Amino acid sequence: MNPRELSGHERRALEEIADRLSADSPRLASLLAEREQVMAPTLASLGLAVAAGGVCAVVGLVLGAPLLVFVGMVAAVAVLLVPSKRAESGEVER
């Protein structure tokens, strides 16, 4: 049923019936309720999603690479600052 083809009086009458039905029997009202129409994604929306994913990947690489280098440098300094077993025992490397 197309609600646009109904007059104002008919729409109000149907709304009253729906309200009364939902109060008396909510389960029956939910079964009779019109289902939402789910639209399939269009080609443009899929293309936009792919483009947004590409932009996010590039931004992630640009922001992630310097962070990875920085963390690697901090780890290298931390490894160099940890005393080795040879230095603790007094051995000298040749």
Q: What is the per-residue pLDDT for 4?
A: 67
Q: What is the DSSP string of 65-82?
A: HHHHHHHHHHHHHHHHHS
For the whole prediction, is pTM greater than 0.75?
no
- Burial call 30-67: b when 16+ CB within 10 Å, e when fewer: eeeeeeeeeeeeeeeeeeeeeeeeeeeeeeeeeeeeee
Listed in sequence order, the residues at least 6 apart from 21 whose beta carbon sits closer than 8 Å to its beta carbon are 28, 29, 32
Tens of pLDDT along the chain (94 residues) come to: 566 677 888 888 877 887 887 777 777 777 766 666 777 889 999 999 999 999 999 999 999 999 999 999 999 999 999 887 776 666 655 5
pLDDT value, residue 38: 74
What's the confidence (pLDDT) of residue 41? 84
